[in-house]
Amino acid sequence: MPVWCCSCSLAGHFRNYSDTETEGEIFNSLVQYFGDNLGQKVKAMPLVEETSFLEDSSVTLPVVVIGNGPSGICLSYMLSGYRPYLSSEAIHPNTILHSKLEEARHLSIVDQDLEYLSEGLEGRSSNPVAVLFDTLLHPDADFGYDYPSVLHWKLEQHHYIPHLVLGKGPPGGAWHNMEGSMLTISFGNWMELPGLKFKDWVSSKRRNLKGDRVMPEEIARYYKHYVKVMGLQKNFRENTYITSVSRLYRDQDDDDGQDRNISTQHLQIEKSKFIKRNWEIRGYQRIADGSHVPFCLFAENVALATGTLDSPAHLEIEGEDFPFVFHSMPEFGAAISKGKLRGKVDPVLIVGSGLTAADAVLCAYNNNIPVIHVFRRRVTDPSLIFKQLPKKLYPEYHKVYHMMCTQSYSVDSNLLSDYTSFPEHHVLSFKSDMKCILQSLSGLKKIFKLSAAVVLIGSHPNLSFLKEQGSYLGHNSSQPITCKSNPVEIDAYTYECVKEANLFALGPLVGDNFVRFLKGGALGVTRCLATRQKKKHLFVERGGGDGIA
């Protein structure tokens, strides 16, 4: 079966490097080649026979990023050599942090001690580097201030680390698939990426910005434009689908000797090269005529930036696969826009207590569709997301929360005409006659006839390309990876997976669901890779033999 293999298609452009050559020379050659030629050569996707890359190949990518949403875009920006420095006129409102920044003003943040800078900071992320980077980009944002960033950015091309960012659609990831009628939860400036202010971009596209919150499709267009204006296109490949990411060998100190996909002799050859061929990434690219072109890449490091919106969570109950049961806002929105629910007297059942469920409530309410809203929590639960949103900034969500509290079902009354909430209830089953059975905490069951049901209880990332669906990377290896309850377990400052060396994760996979916090993951990963690269170069310069790190 023919596949396209990055290593093989580039092999003709690289000679086999001898042990006497320095890593620096090899790296410079890689930079020159990838910078000048990779975009053109890879786009052509030359086909070779699969057998040709099994025995010999000279080139392995330093980094492959899986996912081209804001996490992957921001990581590519920093891997491309963009470096943040403390602005000369900037004064951070946190005096302790500012004094730390002043100590190494001449260094970029990437070259500083992130643990030292993060110490003592608090924010709405459990990852300290995410909190640090957010407070540098948006000082005191959680207190309602709109202070400018204390950072300015420089492009230092000698810091460029060759990489590819693979995504299913255009840059922006899931933002291109979100329901367009809803406002984003975050302010527009919180959605922006380094180096391009969202408001500046918006002002060039339309006359004014009504309010601080924006539509998802505007954010999607901004991310796509960002990749272009920052010169990152050569690093991005669209319409790519990953089928497997596997280790080619494990380090000697691993607790078992399994997963060795190459021979011991071949292993010694690989270890003698500039970049360790740690990972094999297989997949296919969909081209214009709809056909699939398989590919194989090799990488020293892989960064997971897939997000968590791939697979909507299910209730796992009887009848959930009936066609009147939806599991996403786009499905529900499409049904409404096509008029499938117009004139229906039976209510729509909405399951969930998060913001997406609230969006569905608003969508139905605004289209005069009666709603039954079912959720497991009590309305006074302090962990409800509505408790964290200021009323003035998010009036529509507080409207939903007000209805949840004041329009709840009671045995003494029937369903209300527009909306009825069922706190501390769950769905037992769906029936083929479009009925559902609800059950309360006390065990009382109720049956209702529906026009549709929308289950919006979260989502899981699609990590099917990893062994065990990636669950072994989580804090609880027996459960699937989820943003809230079981994120990928990482080193707090490098974002490297605790249970898998040379594998990194950032964004929602590690619990950072808001764009303003996922940028910290790009900082952590970039610092880690840049530090390791420096150590390799120092080892060579000090006469470290064959240059093996």
Structural domain for 479, as ranges: 60-238+473-538
Which residues neighbour 501 within 8 Å (Cβ) at sequence distance 6 or greater?
Answer: 251, 278
Distances (CA, A) of 542 to 137, 155, 163, 271: 38, 28, 27, 20
pLDDT-derived band at 396, boundaries 50, 70, 90: confident
Final residue belonging to a domain, choices 431, 457, 483: 457
pTM for the predicted model, two decimal places = 0.74
Q: Are residues 321 and 420 in the same domain?
A: yes
More confident residue, 11 or 463: 463
Answer yes or no: do 519 and 449 share one domain: no
**With contact defined as beta carbons under 8 Å apart, do 452 and 441 qualify?**
no
pLDDT band at 535 (very low <50, low <70, confident <90, very high): confident
Outline where 344-468 has alpha helix (H).
Answer: 355-366, 395-406
DSSP result, 293-352: EEEEEEEEEEEE---S-SEE-----BTTTSTTEE-SHHHHHHHHHTTTTTT--SPEEEE-
**Total domains present in the chain:** 2
Q: Is 147 exposed, middle or buried (0-12, 13-18, 19+ CB in 10 A)?
A: middle
Do residues 401 and 487 both lie within one domain? no
In a domain, 462, yes or no: no
Whether residue 71 is found in the same domain as residue 213: yes
Does residue 427 share a domain with residue 516?
Answer: no
What is the rounded distance in angstroms from the CA atom of residue 295 to the CA atom of residue 417?
55
- Residue 42, exposed/middle/buried by CB under 10 A (0-12, 13-18, 19+)? buried
What mean pLDDT do residues 47-61 have?
42
**CATH at residue 365:** 3.50.50.60
- Please indicate, yes or no, whether residues 226 and 328 belong to a single structural domain of this protein: no
| 338 and 220 in a common domain | no
Q: Which two tokens stand for residue 352?
A: 């969930």
Q: What percent of the chain has pLDDT over 70?
A: 76
108 in any annotated domain: yes
Average pLDDT, the chain: 80
Residue 271 has pLDDT above 50, yes or no: no
Residue type, 200: D
Q: For residue range 139-186, what is the model confidence (pLDDT) as tens digits?
A: 987 777 778 899 999 999 999 999 999 999 788 766 656 655 454 444
pLDDT higher than 80, residue 255: no
Query: Does the pLDDT of residue 544 top 90, yes or no?
Result: no
Is the residue at 208 inside a domain? Answer: yes
Please report, as a single letter, which amino acid is at residue 549.
A
Number of C-beta neighbours around residue 209 at 10 A: 15
C-alpha to C-alpha distance for 273 and 483, rounded to whole angstroms: 37
Q: Which two tokens stand for residue 158?
A: 């000698």
Q: Is residue 173 part of a domain?
A: yes
Note whether residue 262 is domain-resident.
no
Q: Looking at 392, 422, 457, which one is the last position of a domain?
A: 457
Same domain, 351 and 444: yes
Whole-angstrom CA distances from 401 to 394, 411, 534 are 11, 21, 52
pLDDT at position 309: 67
305: in domain: no
For residue 460, name the pLDDT band (cuts at 50, 70, 90). confident
Question: Using one digit for the tens of pLDDT, what is the confidence trace for 92-138?
Answer: 999 999 999 999 999 999 999 999 999 999 887 899 999 999 999 98
The 3-state secondary structure of 96-127 reads HHHHHHHHCCCCCHHHCCHHHHHCCCCCCCCC
Range in 19-28, 56-65, 161-170, 433-442 the model is least confident about = 19-28
Q: What is the pLDDT of residue 163?
A: 95
Does the pLDDT of residue 35 top 50, yes or no? no
230 and 347 in a single domain? The answer is no
* Token representation of residue 119: 């110490």
Distance from C-alpha of 449 to C-alpha of 397, rounded to nearest angstrom = 27
Domain boundary among 426, 457, 488: 457
Token duo for residue 315: 């209730």
Over residues 291-323, the pLDDT tens digits come to 999 999 999 999 999 976 668 889 999 999 999
In a shared domain, residues 175 and 318: no
Residues facing 301 on adjacent strands: 63
Together in a domain, 438 and 524: no
CATH number for the domain that contains residue 167: 3.50.50
Instruction: Say if 309 falls within a structural domain.
Output: no
Q: Is residue 264 part of a domain?
A: no
Q: Dmax over Cα atoms in the chain, in whole Å? A: 86
Q: Are 362 and 371 in contact (CB under 8 A)?
A: no
pLDDT at 218: 80
425 and 320 assigned to the same domain: yes
Closest by Cα among 30, 462, 529 to 303: 529
Strand order in the sheet with 435-440: 425-430, 435-440, 445-449
Taking CB atoms within 8 Å and a gap of at least 24, the contacts of 427-433 are 427/315, 427/317, 427/349, 427/351, 427/374, 427/453, 427/455, 428/317, 428/318, 429/317, 429/318, 429/319, 430/317, 430/318, 430/319, 430/320, 430/322, 430/324, 430/325, 431/319, 432/319, 432/322
